[in-house]
Amino acid sequence: MERRGEGMESFDFQTAIHQLHEIYEVDLVALAMVLPEEQFLLKWKYISGNLNQQYKRIQLRTGKGVAGAVFKSGKPYIVSNVPTQIDPNKMYHYPILQFEQIKSFVALPLFKNHRVTAVLLVASREIEGAGIALYQRMMDELGECFGPLYLQELMTN
């Protein structure tokens, strides 16, 4: 799955997402990417394990929703119990969680050229189905890269 140096255009994100879905035995894996024409707008582009096609309508601004929060902070977002960790009155900010009935998730920022350019969501429809243990396993197994994108911002001297 890891192919260092491969460009964004030539990397098969859909196949990689499907492989992660199988490897981690979770309910949903999705990748939100920054729209090229809108620097601060994200859209779920690749998905595996979805219940429906509603994700295609979701567009998130920086700071809104799972992808928007990760994009803005540049940090992982881990929730092992959505019903207790996210205010039910604010769930409208998290459409992917509602549409896909997600109860726990790990969301990781993916970097290119020192900027977050995508957000990887690995999620479960069970409480505690995704959390710190899954995050640690992913960081150990994925290494530095997800195709042409980096899991951590590269530091330069």
How confident is residue 35, by pLDDT bands cut at 50, 70 and 90?
A: confident
Query: pLDDT confidence of 52, banded at 50, 70, 90?
Result: very high
Amino acid at 128: E
Q: Which residues pair with 32 in a beta bridge?
A: 44, 119
pTM, two decimal places: 0.89
What dotted CATH number matches 13-150? 3.30.450.40
**Does 5 have pLDDT greater than 50?**
no
115-124 and 104-112: which strand pairing? antiparallel
User: Rounded to an integer, what distance in angstroms lies between the CA atom of residue 108 and that of residue 53?
Assistant: 22
Q: What is the pLDDT of residue 34?
A: 87
d(CA 23, CA 16): 10
Supply angle C-alpha 118, 122, 127, rounded to 5: 140
**150 phi and psi angles, rounded to 5 deg:** -105, 145
- Which of the 8 DSSP states describes residue 133? H
Please choose, from the candidates 149, 139, 137, the residue with its C-alpha nearest in 3D space to the C-alpha of residue 110.
149
The residues spanned by each domain of the chain are 13-150
Tens-digit pLDDT profile for residues 124-137: 999 999 999 999 99
DSSP one-letter code for 9? T
Please tell me the distance from the alpha carbon of residue 108 to that of residue 126, in angstroms, as a whole number: 19
